[in-house]
Structure 1
Amino acid sequence: MIVTGHCLGGSVASLFTLWLLESINRPGTKRPLCITFGAPLIGDKGLQQAISQNLMWNSDFLHVAASQDLDPEAVSEVLVAMDLEIARNKPPNEQWHMIDYGAVVKRLMSTVRFKGISQLSEMIECPLQAGIVLQLQAIGLNRRQQSGDSNPLIAKLEKCEEAFVSKRKMGFDPSKKLNKRKEDMAKLEWYKKVSKSEDKGYYDSYKNRGSKKDLHVVTFKKSLTNYWKEMVAEVERMPQKEEASFRTRWLYGGTNYRRMVEPLDIADYYKENGKKDYKANGRSEHYIKLEKWLEEAGKPLSSQVITRKQNVSASLTEDSCFWAHVEEALIQCELLRNGQEEESTRKKLIEFEEYVMEQIKEYAVSPEIFLGGSSFMQWWKDYEQIVGTSYKSQLTDFMKSRLYQQYH
């Protein structure tokens, strides 16, 4: 189906095509092509960016405009622009007439079919190759050097163009790279298991980086983060209906990635001396988006406490910022030891106690936090010394009675 229109009719054609694209968003469905002539701008910058960056939708629009249109400055993304000689030869007061786009199209076809091809030294049957040769001539390359199937430059450009067209047809599909990312996640799972056997957990192993295996994790983390940043950015640019579909499809994978990898970013953040408040100053936007997807889904991945209890020994901590809270609590303990901001600091530590106890009751934290070499256990040792034996709370009772040893 070809949808077309001139001037305001072109704007209506664009809106109608957008509606069609959203309505027929099913695999295998033939997509409409919208061709407009002298059509004014529709939507705002956000809409233009969303369409232009969506490889599937961007290829469905062709906007033709001429400098003699009634409102040439209001034209959206102009893919074909022409400065007609017939208009240039008229007096200024006669230049702003309606453009005969029928004649424009015929003239354009003649230019492409006859004028360009006639300039070639030999007939080239392949339209793609002919177009490449003409473009090379336009930038001044020797015509003799461009003709012939053996020319490596033409062959390379053909491959690039075919790959680009293929990519536009397929659109954005994160599943194509998913298997490689699954390998990276499996390697992180292995790293997590090995670190647990060393009684310190993968967060603190990565934070301290005392062996070669810790350094390899940097590569896995980087590839996973690049993948999910690209995926989140692409989904955020999608139309609402298509975006919702992708969110649902990738909710589980995105949540597991966030819970596994964000603690490593937190470790990097606090490794630099003087860094504070990761959530406000250091958290990447794509983590925020992934967490928002889960919240908007309306139900946790493991909604029942009893289910989480049964699986807690193999689970990841649900709050991917848990270790940021631990690092902040360690900073608060240091402030108390130095006699700084005592009242506000104690209040923050009590809030941290309540937060941790709530996570424990919900079986929302991994047992790894209780490993002897973990930052959480380091915090507990510091905090126990600060509050003394007379202080009591749910968390201090839980820790002092070693009930955490049964948390598995």
Structure 2
Amino acid sequence: MAKRKSSSSLMGTVLDDEKRRALIPLCCSLSMAAHCSPSSPFLRHDNAGPSAAVFAFPASWSADDWLLADGARSPFGESQIDASLFPSIKSVGNDAAAAVNGAFLRSFKKVIDASRLQAEVHKAASEKKQIVFTGHSSGGSVAVLATIWFLEQRLKLDKRVDQVDPLCVTFGSPLVADGVTVHALQRENWGHCFLHFVMAADIIPRCFLAPLSSFKEEFQSILHFLSPKPLSFNPKPAASSSVAFYNNVLKNALSMSNHQACLLMGCTNPLLEVLADFVKLTPYRPFGTYAFHNSESGDARLICLKNSNSILYMLFYMFQKAPEEDLEQVAHRSLEEHLLYEKRIKECLDVQNIVFVDSSEAIPLSSSDGYRDKAQPIKRLLKDLDLSLEGRLYLRAAGEWENQRLKNQAKVDSNYIKIQEGLSFLKDYRSTCEVRGLGYYDTFKIQKDVEDFNANVKRLELAGLWDEIVEMLRRYELPDDFEGRKEWVKLGTQYRRLVEPLDIANYYRHSKNEDTGPYMVKGRPKRYRYTQRWLEHVEGLPAGSSNESCFWALVEELCIDTNDNKPFLEVKSRVLELEEMLLHWVTGGNLGRDVFVSDSTFVKWWMTLPLKHRSESCISKFMKSEEDMLEERSDQ
């Protein structure tokens, strides 16, 4: 697998570098030019300094390319991401698939399947050019998916060492993916590859905060107005349509913002969950770096954020109209702003007046707060925006939530050595089992000596530590990159291989299978499922292939089935599969050879199998002959 590079600041490497900054207006111009060639799936431009291949995707001005037909099933148009194209975009531990806008995914697949994009991108990458994907409006959403696709391709090819990270630059792009996607991009250290420019009053980047079905009727007339024809030929949408569209998006943006703020501030009111069942909220979330252009402030200022929740709030708060403004004019301006990116971007890059708003400590709750000097640009900015106390609180909450996740990680990291010490104790216990002449699994299952009792106490202590980690991961209360940290993947694998056999022994020793069912179906704790998925994801292994720690559960179930006098033919396929896996695990060093101790549960069961099968088995070389075992037992 490819090594992942350390995170870097996209704004620092693009906006602060004169040559790379030149890519941004180029991307904007090329994105607009792509609209004039809708028959071409993309436009390409090769830039000399820096060496880059820029691929621009045109937007679609047909509502059918924005909205899925089945709005009743998914009112926001989301569909499960294609795992064959985007295998990394998922929650690993929670085993949750990501969701993206189904119509945009369909558009991207058409481009990737029916054009020369793949060949040109790979050729440019082989020439050491930086790959840049860009687009305006829905073309930006296709560019986002193309960027993720290319990042996945680089993982497969394992050619990242000398290759510059790709760049995705969008202008007025609507949201395209859900929170699981945000989590996955951060885990893979890909979030810094995305830069999105958004006008403060542009409605299109906010449109999917509202259910698609709620504005489908007026949306086509709005797209006709936005299409790249001379403005005199573009019919202005009816005032009622643009006002209804604006109000609908604003209302849903308010609901989404308030709901998310309640979650981040730790609201425990049960009505929150009840309301969420009745009021459908958008699944889409922003990711990457957002550069908001606030033309209302009187200067060409860029407001930059990387925190997904902060961006969500700014999408709402920068979009509100002032009480004295005329609603019809505001609604029409929200459409016109979508057409002005090429002019506005050049202005703000020339001035280069950039303010970052991600530090929660730097966000004052009032203009009179006595913050240090470096907070003054943010104070002036928030004053220009006339951001309410509520808005400031929400931005602070978003920052504090990230700080809390870092504190949770520090707490988990503080237990790292304690877990190592617990595993060292159990390794010593495993050595005593070998001295006593019985395997690790069977010795613990019998629970005969004080050493077995002490091992059980240590097993329970470690379970408590890991269950706490898993619960934090389930609620996304740890930083997104936690599951990709190599030291924790390694520790989790060691823990699973050493301790899960003890959990299985305890499960069948107390006959829990009789009440609950087989361990693999009902009894396996999440702490083992999570850590197994971590390893399989990092190593690029097929799902479920690294289940060597479950060997004894498979043996126990086969013992139960054969003791019930099931014919061998009924279990033969399972036996053959187990033997093949056992050979692979033992030769690979992932399973100890103590499974072949003559009095182990496995050997006793295996010796009951038909002689013909045993003689032809792939593991027969590891087993003593039946006569040797009978002689050994008679001597004892």
The correspondence for 2:173, drawn from 16, 33, 39, is 39
In structure 1, what is the equivalent of residue 462 of structure 2?
220
Cα distance in 2 between the residues matched to 1:281 and 1:117: 50
In structure 2, what is the equivalent of residue 57 of structure 1?
191
Distance 1:46 1:33, change over 3 A: same
Equivalences for residues 253-268 of structure 1 within 5 A = 256-268=494-506
Contact 1:255 1:294 in 2 (8 A): no
What's the TM-score once normalised by structure 2's chain length? 0.38
In structure 1, what is the equivalent of residue 557 of structure 2?
328
Cα distance in 2 between the residues matched to 1:192 and 1:44: 45
Contact 1:258 1:287 in 2 (8 A): yes
Cα distance in 2 between the residues matched to 1:358 and 1:9: 48
Quick one: which amino acid aligns to residue 328 of structure 1? E
Structure 2 residue 375 is matched with structure 1 residue 127: yes
In structure 2, what is the equivalent of residue 375 of structure 1?
601
In structure 2, what is the equivalent of residue 164 of structure 1?
403
**Matched residues, number:** 341
In structure 1, what is the equivalent of residue 261 of structure 2?
none
Contact 1:7 1:38 in 2 (8 A): yes
Contact 1:205 1:214 in 2 (8 A): no
5+ residue gaps, structure 2: 1-13, 16-20, 29-135, 210-284, 287-310, 358-362, 383-387
In structure 2, what is the equivalent of residue 308 of structure 1?
none
Structure 2 residue 588 is matched with structure 1 residue 398: no
Distance 1:362 1:119, change over 3 A: closer
What's the TM-score once normalised by structure 1's chain length? 0.54
Equivalences for residues 186-197 of structure 1 within 5 A = 186-197=424-435
Give the Å deviation of 1:7: 4.1
Quick one: which amino acid aligns to residue 98 of structure 1? E
Contact 1:38 1:66 in 2 (8 A): no
In structure 2, what is the equivalent of residue 339 of structure 1?
none
Give the Å deviation of 1:189: 0.9
Give the Å deviation of 1:219: 2.0
Structure 2 residue 533 is matched with structure 1 residue 289: yes
Structure 2 residue 353 is matched with structure 1 residue 98: no
Equivalences for residues 273-312 of structure 1 within 5 A = 273-274=513-514, 275-283=516-524, 285-286=529-530, 289=533, 292=536
Distance 1:359 1:214, change over 3 A: same
Give CA-to-partner distance per residue, 1:89-124, whole Å, 9 cap, x none: 242673443227859999x999x9xx9798316564
The CA RMSD measured in Å over matched residues stands at 6.3
Give the Å deviation of 1:290: 5.9
Cα distance in 2 between the residues matched to 1:282 and 1:35: 47
Give the Å deviation of 1:50: 2.3
Contact 1:69 1:98 in 2 (8 A): no
Give CA-to-partner distance per residue, 1:244-271, whole Å, 9 cap, x none: xx88x99876655443233234334434
Contact 1:7 1:40 in 2 (8 A): yes
Cα distance in 1 between the residues matched to 2:473 and 2:391: 40
Contact 1:40 1:71 in 2 (8 A): yes
Distance 1:252 1:232, change over 3 A: farther
Distance 1:208 1:257, change over 3 A: same
Quick one: which amino acid aligns to residue 375 of structure 1? T
Cα distance in 2 between the residues matched to 1:232 and 1:162: 16
Give the Å deviation of 1:61: 5.2
Cα distance in 2 between the residues matched to 1:161 and 1:45: 18
Contact 1:88 1:95 in 2 (8 A): no
Cα distance in 2 between the residues matched to 1:163 and 1:89: 38
Contact 2:595 2:603 in 1 (8 A): yes
Identity of aligned residues (%): 23
Distance 1:14 1:196, change over 3 A: same
Cα distance in 2 between the residues matched to 1:290 and 1:46: 16
Give CA-to-partner distance per residue, 1:225-261, whole Å, 9 cap, x none: 7769999999xx88xxx98xx88x9987665544323
Quick one: which amino acid aligns to residue 398 of structure 1? S
Cα distance in 1 between the residues matched to 2:489 and 2:366: 56
Cα distance in 2 between the residues matched to 1:261 and 1:218: 10
Give the Å deviation of 1:48: 4.1
Quick one: which amino acid aligns to residue 373 of structure 2? E
Quick one: which amino acid aligns to residue 602 of structure 2? F
Contact 2:172 2:202 in 1 (8 A): no
Task: Provide the secondary structure at the position in 1 that maps to 2:373.
Answer: coil
Contact 2:202 2:334 in 1 (8 A): yes
Give the Å deviation of 1:371: 4.7
Give CA-to-partner distance per residue, 1:328-374, whole Å, 9 cap, x none: 233124323xxxxx43x674279648955995799646342355764
Cα distance in 2 between the residues matched to 1:123 and 1:251: 41
Cα distance in 1 between the residues matched to 2:186 and 2:539: 29
Distance 1:373 1:65, change over 3 A: farther
Give CA-to-partner distance per residue, 1:14-68, whole Å, 9 cap, x none: 67986998989779x9999988663223457754442366677269656646565
Give the Å deviation of 1:188: 2.2
Give the Å deviation of 1:164: 3.4
In structure 2, what is the equivalent of residue 89 of structure 1?
326
Cα distance in 2 between the residues matched to 1:286 and 1:214: 22
Q: Which has the higher helix share?
A: 1
Task: Provide the secondary structure at the position in 1 that maps to 2:431.
Answer: helix
Contact 2:434 2:440 in 1 (8 A): yes
Contact 2:520 2:553 in 1 (8 A): yes
Cα distance in 2 between the residues matched to 1:48 and 1:199: 52
